[in-house]
Amino acid sequence: MNSLKSARLVLALILGFAASGLAFAADAFDLAKAKAAYPLTTCVISGDALTDGDMGPPIDYVYKQKGQPDRLVRFCCKMCIGKFKKNPDKYLKLIDAADAAKTATLSAK
């Protein structure tokens, strides 16, 4: 009987881990979707176009904040990431304002 209880416990643990893995996969950040919805065409730091320019292709940075959903922030170059990290709230507000303006424009059509 003890081995049957142990087998059930092991099975329950395996199923629990599998279920938590599925939940994690469902919550994974969808970079392609975030890029398609990104409201800016310029770098939030420098104002340079988010195109393949002198500094190379745009940098896609996923900002993680405990208790908040992950956010995509796009930069023209790696140097802008450091500037963003010094005051992320300032730049996230600019992105949110651009998103609100984009949504308002789409709603008006």
22, 47: one domain: no
Enclosing domain of residue 82 = 38-108
Write down the pLDDT at residue 52.
Answer: 86
Lowest mean pLDDT among 8-12, 53-57, 92-96: 8-12
Q: Residues 68, 22: one domain?
A: no
Q: How many domains, in total, are found in the chain?
A: 2
Are 4 and 49 members of one domain?
A: no
pLDDT tens sequence across 33-87: 999 999 999 999 999 999 987 778 999 999 999 999 999 999 999 999 999 999 9
Q: What is the DSSP annotation of the chain?
A: -HHHHHHHHHHHHHHHHHHHHHHHHHTS--HHHHHHH---SB-TTT--BSSSBTTBSPEEEEE--TTS--EEEEESSTHHHHHHHHSHHHHHHHHHHHHHHHHHHHHH-
- 43 and 96 co-located in one domain: yes
Query: Do 9 and 51 have their domain in common?
Result: no
Query: What's residue 18's pLDDT?
Result: 44
Tell whether 53 and 82 lie within a shared domain: yes
pTM, rounded to two decimals: 0.71
pLDDT at 55: 77
